[in-house]
Chains A and B, each alone.
Chain A
């Protein structure tokens, strides 16, 4: 499926999507947090899109907003897409989990929680993955400060 066809199809499911393509090799979709889970379920289960392979899940700190970037590929159609979700709530950022859609998301979401403090609703085992339980703060956020261990150039 071409990017244009993907854009038409997905916007017929969820009208409020934002699309950008010019600065990335993929079609980028930005979705509202409330619609994330229904869009993802559609992308996986619809036979035309069939995005069954979540090949990358990245936590992001855009400064004003925190969010997650999902890279998806279909192993049958071999097309790719990027879905982004953002929130401006830095105190208590929360999205729905997608680990019931793609199992691999369970570990990746734990990693994002560990480093960005983004919580995932309905995640079966949401706790820190790499850092210890008593670690203070979320290191990959841009405003994280550690005067002892970080070397700032």
Chain B
């Protein structure tokens, strides 16, 4: 009698779709889940819903135009993406960049990182069912966007960088408003911990799931907070310093647990480090020009150039192969989200569907960054 009942509930694998219109995938990502009841057996991402073939478009565009395309990859790190292309072109041309440019770029890059992390924090709370965080996160990000709007003219896709420097000088209010933001955010960031980080329900949900070991993190090419939460020291700002990062002191946040809560903590602590970097630079912006003049038509010397930068999501690599013409012969973007997505199957298998949502939230995927 008993055995027949058990046989009726025989385990059976089946497949369901998560996305492409699922709120937790944050964009048009489709995951094909193979599950047995609640247990995940396999996660297969289906990509390409918004692939624009930016790499092919780059092959017909001039270097100034390419900068504008990179905004549309990881739009939450748009300034840092622009910076990556500009640095590659500047290194190839061996241009001398004014100190003022380096410092302003670094300040805005760190503001971008805070803006990206606050948005991530709000949305990640929402993914696990805490709606309030969404409003807190967006409230603080709004102040940064106002600073960007004043200085760059845009709030999201900023295009503030050009090869050789910046498009225009900073707004007279920039320093004042940035300082106001730092003072404001220093009172708000502890609220984040009060509301979510130390919340027992949240911690029980997050701890011990989606564990990624250090060796696997390196092998999967994980970078940014995902790699650092597994104890893998991968901060490009430390190891391959660029712009003004060599003149500031900051800590690389490392955790060893490698679970979703460690990834969460790394991002929260990184915001404090970013505040510290901005504080060290904001009173010491050197006077001088805000760009170095380049030719209207930029032709890179024949050769291959590679530059990596640390976006809010991890290591962005720009690889340019030039044959000496005004377009790149081949341009490749090594995006952090692409590698971070590739390890999702590895860390989600064996967990529950609900854990998958929490795990994905801490990978902080931006789909246009994957579908370049």
Contact = CB atoms under 8 A, between A and B. Distances in A.
Interface string A129-144: 1111000000110000
Interface in B40-96: 47-48, 51, 53, 55-56, 60
B179 interface: no
Interface stretch (A6-14, A22-30, A87-95): A22-30
Nearest to B346: A103
Interface string A1-38: 00000000000000000000001111010000000000
Given A25-B305, A78-B239, A108-B338, 6 more contacts: A52-B219, A54-B221, A56-B334, A75-B218, A104-B219, A139-B53
Given A103-B346, A104-B339, A129 B60 contact: no
A115 B51 CA distance: 12
Contacts, number: 82
Interface in A80-130: 82, 102-104, 106-108, 111, 115, 129-130
Interface in B215-250: 216, 218-221, 232-234, 239
A103 B306 contact: no
A52 B343 CA distance: 16
A40 to B, nearest CB: 13
A107 B339 contact: yes
A56 B221 CA distance: 9
Interface of B is mostly: mixed
A107 B336 CA distance: 13
Given A56-B332, A104-B220, A152 B321 contact: no
Interface of B: 47-48, 51, 53, 55-56, 60, 216, 218-221, 232-234, 239, 302-306, 308, 315, 317, 319, 321, 330, 332, 334, 338-339, 341-343, 346, 371
Contact of B48 (A69, A78, A106, A130): A130
A55 B51 contact: no
Nearest to A105: B221
A22 to B, nearest CB: 8
Nearest to B234: A75
Contacts of B47: 129-130
Contacts of A56: 306, 317, 319, 332, 334
B339 A24 contact: no
Nearest to B333: A56
Given A23-B303, A56-B317, A130-B371, A103 B343 contact: yes
A55 to B, nearest CB: 6
B331 to A, nearest CB: 10
Candidate in A26, A107, A111, A152 with the most chain B CB atoms within 10 angstroms: A107
Contact of B55 (A52, A103, A140): A140
B55 A71 contact: no
A64 interface: no
Nearest to A141: B56
Given A56-B332, A58-B332, A104 B53 contact: no
Contacts of B305: 24-25
Contact of A55 (B56, B302, B308, B371): B308
A100 to B, nearest CB: 10
B219 A103 contact: yes
A153 B220 CA distance: 38
Contacts of B51: 130-131
A60 B321 CA distance: 10
Nearest to A26: B306
Nearest to B315: A55
B304 A24 contact: yes
Contact of B56 (A69, A78, A132, A139): A139
A151 B60 contact: yes
A103 B216 contact: yes
Contacts of B338: 107-108, 111
14 contacts: A24-B303, A24-B305, A24-B306, A25-B305, A56-B317, A56-B334, A58-B332, A60-B321, A71-B319, A75-B234, A82-B304, A104-B221, A132-B48, A140-B55
Contacts of B371: 130
A148 B329 CA distance: 22
B302 A23 contact: yes
Contacts of B218: 52-53, 75
A61 B330 contact: yes
A37 B223 CA distance: 25
